[in-house]
Chains A and B, each alone.
Chain A
């Protein structure tokens, strides 16, 4: 199984400041035949299901704020919130869908400082 490790487990950022979440996979999730990274980011708020934010490591879903961006390739990925707003307070998960079982990171809690 591919192990996904996020860092940090939690972070507190001032409103308007940048938040950065890292995700590392135990093996590459880059599929060489199509040069795509099978890596997604989800946001979960209390009492709600997760919501897909970014797929293929860097493709923002329709309706997702352009303050959120994904980057990285192979085994190292980053979710960046460029200017933290109150509505960004949530848990964030990375997930690989390169192989079964599809595994998630342990989650990163983002709060306002």
Chain B
């Protein structure tokens, strides 16, 4: 079965750090772009970051630039999101998503919840 599985979410204090992981099974990250999208409780979908298949190109939303770092381990079929200096407004479900270059989001993970609160 083709799937993406996120992990690493949880409760963290403002200013803290978390590292999210996304493991792919039944699929390859090669030749695809991997994205993170988040959804705050009761709110809509917001793009966070993407990385290309060989890890040489990354982009970030302005709201996370300088605080979040996306990376990829193709050998392990795993995507990461290192989140530092977390703020209350980063509280959301974070989804890992596969997309063809310039294509739609065809495979989504189930999401992992990140809560930033004291």
Contacts and interface: CB of A to CB of B under 8 A. Distances in A.
Interface of A: 38, 40, 42, 48-52, 55-56, 61, 93, 95, 97, 100-107
A50 B103 contact: no
B76 interface: no
Contact of B105 (A50, A103, A105): A50
Interface of B: 35, 44-47, 50, 59, 61, 95, 99, 102-106, 108-111
Contacts, number: 51
28 contacts: A38-B102, A40-B104, A40-B105, A49-B109, A49-B110, A50-B95, A50-B105, A50-B108, A52-B105, A55-B106, A95-B104, A97-B99, A97-B103, A97-B104, A97-B105, A100-B50, A100-B59, A101-B47, A101-B61, A102-B47, A103-B47, A104-B44, A104-B45, A104-B46, A104-B47, A105-B44, A107-B44, A107-B45
B51 to A, nearest CB: 12
A61 B107 CA distance: 12
A42 B110 CA distance: 15
B95 A49 contact: yes
A42 B102 CA distance: 17
Nearest to B109: A49
Contacts of B46: 104
B61 A95 contact: no
Q: Say what secondary structure dominates the interface of chain A.
A: loop
A95 B56 CA distance: 25
Nearest to B110: A49
A68 to B, nearest CB: 15
Q: Which of A49, A100, A102, A104 has the most CB of B within 10 A?
A: A49
B73 to A, nearest CB: 22
Given A49-B95, A49-B109, A49-B111, A55 B44 contact: no
A50 to B, nearest CB: 6
A80 B110 CA distance: 26
A55 B59 contact: no
B111 A55 contact: no
A5 to B, nearest CB: 12
